[in-house]
Structure 1
Amino acid sequence: MKRVIVITGGQRSGKSSYAEKLALSLSPNPVYMATSRIWDEEFRLRVVKHQERRGPEWTNIEEEKTLSRHNLTGRVVLVDCVTLWCTNYFFDLNANVDLALQKLKQEFDSFTQQEAIFIFVTNEIGSGAVSENNIQRRFTDLQGWMNQYIASKADQVYLMVSGIPVLIKQ
């Protein structure tokens, strides 16, 4: 039963909507694990829009960092999203990319040891121009390396392009 699926793409490419539809096709009562912190009012409104899209069939869990503390054996689990999960470690560890990457990999491995179907949503933030900001470049490195790590462990990887899922690994 254990399976890891990754859905990646750019901002507003349809990642979350596709992931939600996929989760519902695999289970009548999937788990939605939200990793975001509320940084400001605009972001809070984004979170509200995501929440309103989901119905009562979802089990909602808000978990900023320690995903593995939740026993989700036998469930379909949508983690949205890896980028925000990485952000939490990055800032809590004072932008120490090496330490954040180590902690994220350990947590990913611990979390995905459970017998469950995991759907990870992530962003391809490194697909654009190189930032002039040092912190942003360091975070982009962390995000890219974590995406590579998760994708290497995944059974399937989809790239979302203009709302269209393109299977890139099976």
Structure 2
Amino acid sequence: MAQITFITGGQRSGKSSFAQKRAEESSASPVYLATARIWDEDFHKRVKRHQSDRGEQWITIEEEIEISKHVLTGKTVLLDCITLWLTNIFYQNKNDVDTSLELAKREWNKFINQNMELFVVSNELGMGVHPENEMARKFADLQGWMNQYIAQTANEVFLMVSGIPIQVKASPDPHKGEGYEASYA
């Protein structure tokens, strides 16, 4: 079972930098599991910036949906990010929240069934502006429910605020939790 550190926060809160630093402290050759699909030129520039921030010691794997198909046992892995991964799943499933959430949970469960140290980056979409259209609201719901699900499986959870990591959860056993069972409906 993976040792999971979940790092969430708003856009430009320092999530990726914090996760990258932690992964580099843990391994001389960490794996960067990139979930991005390049949709436009602006996003291409963002990806290039992230790539230039990483040193040559990083092994990069690009995977849009099937994260569990990669054998990463014994590795230190930085998965960046859940939001882009969910975007790909949501798009593939014609914006159906229930189908997307079920597929994402199933894929996540298979993925974390490997013995690895895993740093996971995600976004807190529900802390910003209320989405203006139905599809954006559906995606924000999907993101929130999946973040809850991942946080439940995580050993540690950090919320990034203005570049400062705030530890939200520190648990030696991710299956014991704090007596809180999240609702996903």
Give TM-score scaled by structure 2 length. Answer: 0.90
Q: What is the identity, as a one-letter code, of the residue corresponding to 2:31?
A: V
User: Who is 2:93 aligned against?
Assistant: 93
- The separation in 2 between residues aligned to 1:44 and 1:160, in whole angstroms, is 24
User: What number of residue pairs does the alignment pair up?
Assistant: 170
- The separation in 2 between residues aligned to 1:97 and 1:63, in whole angstroms, is 21
- The separation in 2 between residues aligned to 1:46 and 1:2, in whole angstroms, is 28
User: Who is 1:78 aligned against?
Assistant: 78
User: Who is 1:121 aligned against?
Assistant: 121
- The separation in 1 between residues aligned to 2:2 and 2:148, in whole angstroms, is 20
**Structure 1 residues 105-116: aligned runs within 5 Å:** 105-116=105-116
- The separation in 2 between residues aligned to 1:20 and 1:128, in whole angstroms, is 24
- The separation in 2 between residues aligned to 1:54 and 1:29, in whole angstroms, is 11
User: Who is 2:139 aligned against?
Assistant: 139
- The separation in 1 between residues aligned to 2:52 and 2:146, in whole angstroms, is 29
- The separation in 2 between residues aligned to 1:123 and 1:166, in whole angstroms, is 15
Give a deviation string over 1:118-167, Cα, whole Å, max 9, x none. 11100000112322200000000000000000000100000001101110
Aligned-residue identity in percent: 53
Instruction: Please tell me the root mean square deviation across aligned C-alpha atoms, in Å.
Output: 0.8
Structure 2 segments unaligned to the other structure (5+ residues): 171-185
User: Who is 2:36 aligned against?
Assistant: 36
User: Who is 1:50 aligned against?
Assistant: 50
Q: What is the identity, as a one-letter code, of the residue corresponding to 2:13?
A: S
Give a deviation string over 1:93-139, Cα, whole Å, max 9, x none. 00000000000000000000000011110000011232220000000
Higher RCO, 1 vs 2 (CA within 8 Å, ≥6 residues apart): 1
Q: What is the identity, as a one-letter code, of the residue corresponding to 1:152?
A: Q
Give a deviation string over 1:40-90, Cα, whole Å, max 9, x none. 001000000000111110000000000111000000110000000000000
Structure 1 moving runs of 4+ over 3 Å: none
SS of 1:137's equivalent? helix
The Cα of 1:2 is off from its aligned counterpart by 3.1
SS of 2:56's equivalent? coil
The answer to which of 122-131 and 152-161 deviates more is 122-131
SS of 1:166's equivalent? strand
Q: What is the identity, as a one-letter code, of the residue corresponding to 1:95?
A: N
Give TM-score scaled by structure 1 length. Answer: 0.98
User: Who is 2:103 aligned against?
Assistant: 103
Structure 1 segments unaligned to the other structure (5+ residues): none
Q: What is the identity, as a one-letter code, of the residue corresponding to 2:130?
A: V
- The separation in 2 between residues aligned to 1:80 and 1:74, in whole angstroms, is 19
SS of 2:123's equivalent? coil
- The separation in 2 between residues aligned to 1:45 and 1:131, in whole angstroms, is 25
